[in-house]
Amino acid sequence: MSTQSNPLEQFYYDNKAVRNFAIATIIWGIVGMLVGVIIATQLFEPAANFTQYGSFGRIRPLHTNAVIFAFVGNAIFAGVYYSLQRLLKARMFSNFLTEFHFWGWQAIIVAAAITLPLGITTSHEYAELEWPIDIAITLVWVAFGINMFGTILRRRERHLYVAIWFYIATFVTVAVLHLTNSMQLPISIFKSYYVYAGVQDALVQWWYGHNAVAFFLTTPFLGLMYYFLPKMANRPVYSYRLSILHFWALIFIYIWAGPHHLLYSSLPDWAQSLGVVFSIMLIAPSWGGMINGLLTLRGAWDQVRENTILKFMVVGITTYGMATFEGPMLSLKNINAIAHFTDWIVAHVHVGALGWNGFLTFAILYWMIPRIFQTKLYSEKLVKTHFWIATIGIAFYAIPMYISGFTQGMMWKQFTAEGNLQYGNFLDTTLQVIPMHQMRAFGGTLYLIGAILMAVNLFKTMAQGTLLANEPAEAPALLTIDEIAPEAHWHRWIEKRPIQLLVASLIMILIGSLVELVPTFMVKSNVPTIAAVKPYSALELEGRDIYIREGCVSCHSQLVRPFRSETERYGEFSKSGEFVYDHPFLWGSKRTGPDLHREGGKYPNSWHYHHMREPSSMSPGSIMPAYDWLFEQSLNTSMTEKKLSAMKTLGVPYEESQIKNAVRDLNQQAKEIQMQMAGEQIKIGADKEIIALIAYLQRLGTDINKKQ
């Protein structure tokens, strides 16, 4: 280590940005949780689906996007802007980029809040926003990256603390994930098709989905944990070595685990197995992180007893440990066979989200706000109340969901002594878990009330203090690399060189990604084609787009797994070759309603007609929302031709004549359905949206039965 040093320099930390992101976190958090409570209510009280703009399928993505990208996203930025400046002893690189980042991110959130209820969605989970918003996200993310790296390059502390590595890995990986999973061919400003189809689309989506959990909900929060926990407890992290091992192992292993979302699907076996193996290995780094966090508090448990902020941290880190133990267990094929598509997954996600992300966010806000406002918390007591109400809320949320998930998993598979399905009517399994869903909504409401208490407390705190917008600090400028002793150790070398660190983490995540994705893409024979599988007709394609718009995929899967319990209930299991024209795939991840892959021909058109208008008329007690607007709105066919021709560009073998005559063919098929239903005393215009949806539902999964 060198003893030389430069004279002290004066500079100012930007606390205004921290304040802005913190306020956005609080407000969006409450909005997102409120929408969560609404959709939870809709699952036992379908009357809570107000109009098409508030129906479950459309606002469920609003909830997920709001809590992930608005609440957690802003929390990450608030924490990163606070800790990065202080760890680097430098102000954020550019005031302009900071403002651009903040307002750009909020504008994206507003755009999401407008487009999702309108049914403008790509249907990829956690990536629903349409392509113009995707581009905006890219721009804002790049601005964040430049701002962060600019700060790193102008730092006054040579060594990059491990928290910053986590931030860097977050930045790079999210960029790669977002770009890869946003490859869409635009049809219009509000509509696009993914370039990938079927199995490949599914693989890309879950490689993305899983790693969004890893690199948006996990790595940035681990970085925050490594900074804020030592600060809060006023003691250094338990083991710096462990934190390094934790970092490299986590980013290296996480990226491989995506296929565990697709077990027993038509994804090739080897990719599934790879996903399982790496998921199991993930326990090690995840628990390494948890243990490092908890042991940081060794000998300080008396502090924890008195300090509610630390209590939030302890519970948060513990739930992280629980969720990261459960995750690998859920990747085991035999457990997955029961848990997948059930409420178990919802429970798993929320233990992580409410416990880990929520509690860490609360703790960090409670810790930061009084400091940048140079005051103390308005009410310690309210913090305590928040802690208890939120903890009880999590219990009320998670326990019923575990019971519900387990019940569903078991009931779906239960056979009678004679070898028939015990609960052949899917609805029985839905009705069985309704009390659990009511309790879950209660738990969610408690958690929301806690967040509102926090909002009151923090806004009062802000009001009683004054923001130190520019906090003075001083530190000597960095000596250049030549000035310090050249004791070269490779890791210290990397600790000093942010760009190399970026490249190294990029390589780490690319290895896993490529091994997973490339063979599936390169080898054509990977998806055996089935000659009988033909592209959708124009009407069916429009019907499919309505299915996407209404978010049916959030309650219905389209993937029959190769179990007897499923083939008995739904029909022949799904083959990868059946999805080759599906841009995007619509396998879904949750069965609130039954699988629909073999829906075609199961019921007459009239059944669907009545069911879509009033589900409980056909299935008494059904919790599926009614879709009355589909009976009033006329199908917009102005894009039909363009849609077919876009599909052709993506490799769907439409003939030129099919494209040219798309609207004519569409009208003809619609007429046929109309006439057929007229025979059953149903009067409906052939131009109504419902006709297209029925055409699509009747087509689903029927191709393999066709004679050549």
Partner 1 sequence: MFKQFISVIPGADIFMISSLCIFMAFFVLVGLYLLWMDPIHTVKMQHLPLENNDFEPKI
Summarize as ranges the residues that interact with ligand HEC (CB under 6 A). Answer: 56-57, 426-427, 430, 547, 550, 552, 554-556, 592-594, 596, 599, 602, 608, 615, 619, 622-625, 627, 693, 697
Answer with the entry of partner 1, ligand HEC, none that 489 interacts with (C-beta below 5 to 8 A by kind). partner 1
Q: Which two tokens stand for residue 673?
A: 């359905």
- 51 neighbors 45 (Cβ within 8 angstroms): no
CA angle, 502 then 141 then 67, to 5°: 110
Nearest approach, Cβ of 526 to ligand HEC (angstroms)? Answer: 30
What are the distances in angstroms from CA 336 to CA 255, 272, 353, 516?
19, 12, 20, 20
Q: What are the respective helix, strand and coil percentages of the chain, to the nearest 5?
A: 65, 5, 30
Nearest approach, Cβ of 548 to ligand HEC (angstroms)? Answer: 9
Nearest approach, Cβ of 554 to ligand HEC (angstroms)? Answer: 6
Nearest approach, Cβ of 99 to partner 1 (angstroms)? Answer: 24
Choice between 305 and 376, CB closer to partner 1: 376
Nearest approach, Cβ of 344 to ligand HEC (angstroms)? Answer: 17
Answer with the entry of partner 1, ligand HEC, none that 622 interacts with (C-beta below 5 to 8 A by kind). ligand HEC
Choice between 333 and 664, CB closer to partner 1: 333
Nearest approach, Cβ of 68 to ligand HEC (angstroms)? Answer: 20
- 155 neighbors 221 (Cβ within 8 angstroms): no
Answer with the entry of ligand HEC, partner 1, none that 245 interacts with (C-beta below 5 to 8 A by kind). partner 1
Nearest approach, Cβ of 630 to ligand HEC (angstroms)? Answer: 7
Answer with the entry of partner 1, ligand HEC, none that 87 interacts with (C-beta below 5 to 8 A by kind). partner 1
Answer with the entry of partner 1, ligand HEC, none that 625 interacts with (C-beta below 5 to 8 A by kind). ligand HEC
Choice between 14 and 599, CB closer to ligand HEC: 599
Answer with the entry of ligand HEC, partner 1, none that 375 interacts with (C-beta below 5 to 8 A by kind). partner 1
DSSP string, 101-134: HHHHHHHHHHHHHHHTTTT-----TT--S-HHHH
Q: What is the DSSP letter of 258?
A: G
Answer with the entry of partner 1, ligand HEC, none that 550 interacts with (C-beta below 5 to 8 A by kind). ligand HEC
Answer with the entry of ligand HEC, partner 1, none that 335 interacts with (C-beta below 5 to 8 A by kind). none
Choice between 302 and 418, CB closer to partner 1: 302
Nearest approach, Cβ of 39 to ligand HEC (angstroms)? Answer: 8
The CA-to-CA distance between both ends of the chain, in Å, stands at 78
Choice between 101 and 437, CB closer to ligand HEC: 437
Nearest approach, Cβ of 348 to ligand HEC (angstroms)? Answer: 20
Contact footprint for partner 1 (CB under 8 A): 83, 86-87, 89, 157, 159, 161-163, 226-227, 230-231, 234-237, 240-241, 244-245, 248-249, 252, 266, 268-270, 274, 370-372, 374-377, 380, 468, 473, 489-492, 495, 508, 511-512, 514-515, 518-519, 522-523, 525-526, 528, 530, 575-577
- 83 neighbors 224 (Cβ within 8 angstroms): yes
How many angstroms separate the CA atoms of 582 and 444, rounded?
35
How many angstroms separate the CA atoms of 685 and 14, rounded?
61
Q: What is the DSSP letter of 357?
A: I
Choice between 4 and 657, CB closer to partner 1: 4
Answer with the entry of ligand HEC, partner 1, none that 593 interacts with (C-beta below 5 to 8 A by kind). ligand HEC
Answer with the entry of partner 1, ligand HEC, none that 623 interacts with (C-beta below 5 to 8 A by kind). ligand HEC
ω into 584 cis (within 30 of 0)? yes
SS3 (DSSP) at 54: strand
Choice between 480 and 525, CB closer to partner 1: 525
Choice between 417 and 522, CB closer to partner 1: 522
Choice between 211 and 430, CB closer to ligand HEC: 430
Answer with the entry of ligand HEC, partner 1, none that 599 interacts with (C-beta below 5 to 8 A by kind). ligand HEC
Answer with the entry of ligand HEC, partner 1, none that 94 interacts with (C-beta below 5 to 8 A by kind). none
CA proximity to 533, closest of 577, 472, 592, 574:
577
Give the sign of the dihedral formed by CA 89, CA 93, CA 99, CA 101: negative
Choice between 56 and 194, CB closer to ligand HEC: 56
How many angstroms separate the CA atoms of 429 and 408, rounded?
6
Q: Which two tokens stand for residue 274?
A: 């790879």
Q: Which two tokens stand for residue 700?
A: 């689903």
From its phi and psi, is residue 144 left (phi > 0), alpha (psi between -120 and 50) or beta?
Answer: alpha
Choice between 87 and 693, CB closer to partner 1: 87
Nearest approach, Cβ of 333 to ligand HEC (angstroms)? Answer: 27
- 505 neighbors 173 (Cβ within 8 angstroms): yes
Nearest approach, Cβ of 612 to ligand HEC (angstroms)? Answer: 6
- 581 neighbors 197 (Cβ within 8 angstroms): yes
Biggest CA–CA distance in the chain, Å, is 93
Answer with the entry of ligand HEC, partner 1, none that 231 interacts with (C-beta below 5 to 8 A by kind). partner 1
CA proximity to 228, closest of 130, 87, 338:
87
How many angstroms separate the CA atoms of 125 and 330, rounded?
19
Nearest approach, Cβ of 297 to partner 1 (angstroms)? Answer: 15
Return all residues near 216 (Cβ < 8 A) that are at least 6 apart.
68, 69, 72, 73, 76, 170, 174
Helix residue spans in 572-639 (DSSP H) = 605-613, 615-618
Choice between 49 and 85, CB closer to ligand HEC: 49
Query: Tokens 């429009």 appear where?
Result: 542
SS3 (DSSP) at 375: coil
Choice between 163 and 433, CB closer to partner 1: 163
420 burial via Cβ count (<10 Å: 0-12, 13-18, 19+): exposed
Choice between 368 and 635, CB closer to partner 1: 368
Nearest approach, Cβ of 594 to ligand HEC (angstroms)? Answer: 5
- 220 neighbors 166 (Cβ within 8 angstroms): yes
Nearest approach, Cβ of 56 to ligand HEC (angstroms)? Answer: 4
Choice between 326 and 550, CB closer to ligand HEC: 550
Residue type for position 295: L
Answer with the entry of partner 1, ligand HEC, none that 514 interacts with (C-beta below 5 to 8 A by kind). partner 1
Q: What is the 3-state secondary structure (H, E, C) of 653-708?
A: CCCHHHHHCHHHHHHHHHHHHHHHHHCCCCCCCCCEHHHHHHHHHHHCCCHHHCCC
Return all residues near 388 (Cβ < 8 A) that are at least 6 apart.
none
Answer with the entry of partner 1, ligand HEC, none that 173 interacts with (C-beta below 5 to 8 A by kind). none
**Which residue minimizes CB distance to ligand HEC?**
593
Answer with the entry of ligand HEC, partner 1, none that 525 interacts with (C-beta below 5 to 8 A by kind). partner 1
142 burial via Cβ count (<10 Å: 0-12, 13-18, 19+): middle
Nearest approach, Cβ of 475 to ligand HEC (angstroms)? Answer: 56
Length in residues, the chain: 708
Nearest approach, Cβ of 633 to ligand HEC (angstroms)? Answer: 13
Choice between 164 and 441, CB closer to ligand HEC: 441
Query: Tokens 């750009």 appear where?
Result: 104
